[in-house]
Amino acid sequence: MVVLLAVAHSQGWLERFRDPQGMARTLVELGPWGYAAFIGAYTLLQPFGVPGTVFIVVAPLIWDWPEAFALSMTGAMGATVVGFSFARLVARDWVSGLIPERFRQYEAGLAARGFATVFMLRFIFWMQPLLHAFFGVSRVPFWTHFWGSLLGYFLPFLLVSFFGQKIFQMLKDLSPLGWLGLAGGMLLLVLATWRMQRARSA
């Protein structure tokens, strides 16, 4: 990753990030190579901390929604395989100590209902890197994890790909009063979630 960033800097590729519209045009003009660049960045960066949501939200702003959906799914599955394999085959002991307790409570579910548990967690948490790690250090078989993840991603990614550009345009045209109402709604949602968690732990 360091070598790739050094090459990108020396070639001036990173300068394109200062012009998002220009970068989007470049990716479209590159055709299949633009697809490969998007999927490659998604696959290699997301498992190690770059939010996958960035790629999923950006894709429909660059390509038509069928292409955006296909690219988002392909990149997400690549990142999922990389994160899972890294935890299982490369750094199992180190990664095991990083798993938060909120994921460990699902270990019994993985043992008894592996596919359903993977599907549910992917549907809710998507591609969180620590979730890759949790599945990697668990006993869930690779293919159970693969197909459960694929189906768990399907509907949320489809909705984001289809509605992403429309939502972006709506937010772009939103008035200051509308932004205030949106912020208030999000605050209420956060407070409601916090109260539910406190009630559950009490």
13-37 per-position pLDDT tens digit: 555 555 555 566 667 676 788 888 8
Predicted local confidence at residue 201, as pLDDT: 55
pLDDT of 70: 93
- Structure token digits, residue 181: 């109402």
Sign of CA dihedral 86, 91, 94, 96: positive
Average pLDDT of span 54-71: 87
Sequence spans of domains, the chain: 31-177
Specify the range with the lowest mean pLDDT, choosing from 1-5, 52-56, 109-113, 143-147.
1-5
Calpha distance 89→96 (Å, rounded): 12
d(CA 100, CA 74): 27
Write the pLDDT tens digit of every residue in 128-154: 888 888 888 888 899 999 999 999 999
* Residue 105 and residue 200 in contact, taking contact as beta carbons nearer than 8 Å: no
Handedness of CA 87, 92, 98, 103 (dihedral sign): positive
The pTM (predicted TM-score) of the whole model is 0.69
Show the tokens assigned to 9. Answer: 């800097």
pLDDT digits (tens, 9 = 90+) for 35-45: 888 899 899 88
Query: Which H helix or E strand runs over 35?
Result: helix 32-45
